[in-house]
Amino acid sequence: MLCGLWRSRHRRPEEPPVPAQVAAPVALPSPPAPQDGGTKRPGLRALKKMGLTEDEDVRAMLQGSTLCKIRSRTWHKERFYRLQEDGLSVWFQRRIRRAPSQHIFYVQHIEAVREGHQSEGLRRFGGAFAPARCLTIAFKGRRKNLDLAAPTAEEAQRWVRGLAKLRARLDAMNQRERLDHWIHSYLHRADSNQDSKMSFKEIKSLLLMVNVDMNDMYAYRLFKECDRSNNERLEGPEIEEFLRRLLKRPELEEIFHRYSGEDRVLSAPELLEFLEDQGEDGATLARAQQLIHTYELNETAKQHELMTLDGFMMYLLSPEGAALDPAHTGVFQDMNQPLAHYFISSSHNTYLTDSQIGGPSSTEAYVRAFAQGCRCVELDCWEGPGGEPVIYHGHTLTSKILFRDVVQAVRDHAFTLSPYPVILSLENHCGLEQQATMARHLRSILGDMLVTQVLDSQNPEELPSPELKGRVLVKGKKLPAARSDEGRILSDREEEEEEEDDEEEAGAAEQRRRAKQISPELSALAVYCGATRLRTLRPAPPPPPPGQVSSLSERKAKKLIREAGNSFVRHNVHQLTRVYPLGLRMNSANYSPQEMWNSGCQLVALNFQTPGYEMDLNAGRFLINGQCGYVLKPACLRQPDTTFDPECPGPPRTTLTIQVLTAQQLPKLNAEKPNSIVDPLVRIEIHGVTSDCARKETNYVLNNGFNPRWGQTLQFQLRAPELALVRFVVEDYDTTSPNDFVGQFTLPLNSLKQGYRHIHLLSKDGASLSPATLFVHICIQGS
């Protein structure tokens, strides 16, 4: 029953009657009353729906402010910033209009707004401005921070408070409100003379803006059907009727009418039947009644415990109707097992904001990594002037930042998103004196956050659990009790150099391998994460000491997976393993983390500054469990006597069937070319053990990014479903060049809900593309 897409319990009549009490669909609000001497301002409609038109801070932002943008000690430029009437974007330009330099940033792309000198830029270059006048707007993805100084402290506070209110209201919007907001913002832009009336030419402009290449005859017919005043202009209710027709979802109507029958409303028992066919856990009549009271928009229908089509759409567009299991969005896993039993979100060369050859280093890169849920960051430490260690990519042109500034960033930002422990992975190239300085900074700045001794004296060798909240662990070289070549400690870079030295002369290689001096003060801080070398794995090795961490390049890890698959898995049951990209990846490219996760490697370190499918997989892996940066490994990767081998996972156990139905409101890729419309196709990728990896795609739909339809079914056979990630990708088809990326969403198969689901798409940088969605039907069958 679960996989049956179409049902025929109810016959669908041609024109079924609708009960009078719920006959009228919930109307979209009309434009606001005329203002400013009779001129309507349709853009304010969006803010009115947000309930913010009377807010003093928002009204001040609508008027605009001249703020000083700060980039360096000498680069301080005045810019005029003004909130646009859609309430979703801020427009800014040079105060002296030498060139047409008008720009926009969007509220939904803001990661955080910080007051005072709370960014690297303002700490370094904002000394001329009082902290009370300063604010920093930090963006998601790779966009640089915007450091600003206002003329007064009160004006700075207005922007801080106003942006906070706009972000909070945007986060609270349901998908239907976001869609309404989105379409009206385009309507406002298409109304070229801002008279709140839409000519057919303006309607055509609107259609192109929202990615629709509609036939002129069909578009004009639709236009005239709504032009009840017959004056070649749409206004007020006529515009709302046009938008209602444009936003119709025939595929949802079809599903709704299969369950609602002739009366075209869903009773609670009928909704319950839909939930049961969806495979919803805990589907009861009480649950169906609760959904009606939560999502139904028509108060009369709600009183009669009925759900209209509008309420049904609200439900399917909500988080409860999404592909991601809502029960997995918070912390739901056992967090009391040893650290080695978890995948841990990890960053490589965390300090870099670009390539590892000449890119800038910044403490802001650490702040951004923590904002993405990262729990293990890297500090590449080198001798600095004045006795102060610095962090940069050694022997390159990357800029340098102070070690102590990074530790301060850890103290201030490591636990803003997740309370679970952070691991500082030290790659140490300093002499004894500056190593002691590093240890001193760690102790003095982090204070009680820093773990400086074993926590369980009864079991000193046992790794702690993630319940070690708010604490910082140091991973670094440790003085061995008895030095021998077998047990000698190496840093990550030494291990990498050792691999690359295989073809060098023996004398030179031996010189590179010589043990470095280790400061006792710094060694003492590597309580649970002493860096060690992993040479080989025997078929049945004794359990390694839990307090050691092996660091392997991706090449060495792949070699171990091929040659000692099960032994490597067993090794990772007891001990942490960190994997990092090859040093040859000069542009800070990433490798696929999935192969490493398949073997139970916990600290699979990626370049967080480099977007791509690899970071999509990382975001998808850690999307669940509250995005806290810790995900419990499957049981087959935690059992001491496990027989699991990722290279030989056994026969297929699960069939995944996905019917790709439609997409909605896909983003326009080339806004500068109004006639450029996407030709979308959908690709579904499975990332798991090698034998499960697959990708299949639909045909492309010509010239329709607004509401393309496919109705194609893609099927996959899986041998290790507990490790699989499912990636939904939308691309713009191109016959002569590679397809262009439109959006994606990645999540673990075990967190994928069955039935009719919406996929809420994300950009390359992981930002929401709301209201862009895919609509699919999902069926998961075990053998």
The Cα 719–Cα 650 span in angstroms is 6
> How large is the C-alpha radius of gyration of the chain?
29
Helices (H), 372-525: 403-413, 432-446, 492-500, 506-513, 520-523
Catalytically annotated residue among 188, 328, 348, 687? 348
Region of 640 please: left (phi>0), alpha (psi -120 to 50) or beta: alpha
Q: How many CA atoms lie within 13 A of 180 on its CB side?
A: 24
Active site residue 341: no
Residue 390 identity: V
Helices (H), 481-564: 492-500, 506-513, 520-523, 554-563
Q: Which two tokens stand for residue 279?
A: 């495979």
Beta partners for 342? Answer: 632
CB 541 within 8 A of CB 530: no
The Cα 764–Cα 783 span in angstroms is 36
The Cα 120–Cα 321 span in angstroms is 41
Nearest CA to 598 out of 495, 686, 493 is that of 686
Q: Which two tokens stand for residue 92?
A: 């800014």
Active site residue 393: yes
Nearest CA to 238 out of 204, 200, 274 is that of 200
Q: Which two tokens stand for residue 475?
A: 């991973």
Nearest CA to 149 out of 72, 69, 79 is that of 69
Q: Which two tokens stand for residue 629?
A: 């940066």
The Cα 668–Cα 677 span in angstroms is 7
Query: Could you give the C-alpha distances from 388 to 97, 230, 385, 542, 686, in angstroms and in order?
Result: 45, 77, 6, 42, 47
Catalytically annotated residue among 181, 188, 257, 393? 393
Helix (H, G, I), strand (E, B) or coil at 779: strand
Residues annotated as part of the active site: 348, 393
